């Protein structure tokens, strides 16, 4: 089974968020691969006479996880529990007084 998500996140990393996960079940064991990415953009306008938006990336967050867990069914309802150490990558972009991005 594959799940795709798209939306908005708030907080320090907040911005456009998208992700996907793939689930595979064998017996009661379940294996999941999950990716979630968030991009925060700042939009500036070149001039009021030429209102063309210019997007600048402010921050970027990516999270990867390979989860292992158990899934079982009780009284027509499915329950699953999974654990994983995730890999998270956060990047923040700044511009100095000379308009150089680092």
pLDDT 10s digits, 48-62:
777 776 666 778 888
Q: Kindly tell me if the per-residue pLDDT of 11 is higher than 80.
A: no
Phi and psi at residue 75, to the nearest 5°: 50, 50
Looking at the DSSP assignment, which residues form a beta bridge with residue 59?
40, 92
- Considering the chain, what percentage of its residues have pLDDT values greater than 90? 22
Looking at the DSSP assignment, which residues form a beta bridge with residue 35?
20, 64
Does the pTM exceed 0.75? no
């Amino acid at each position: 089974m594959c799940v795709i998500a798209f939306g908005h996140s708030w907080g320090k990393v907040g911005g456009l968020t998208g992700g996907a996960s793939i689930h595979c079940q064998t017996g009661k064991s379940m294996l999941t691969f999950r990716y979630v990415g968030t991009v925060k953009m700042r939009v500036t306008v070149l001039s009021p006479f030429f209102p063309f938006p210019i997007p600048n990336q402010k921050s970027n967050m990516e999270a990867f996880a390979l989860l292992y867990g158990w899934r079982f069914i009780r009284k027509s309802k499915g329950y699953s529990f999974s654990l994983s150490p995730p890999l998270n990558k956060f990047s923040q972009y700044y511009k100095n007084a000379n308009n150089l991005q680092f």
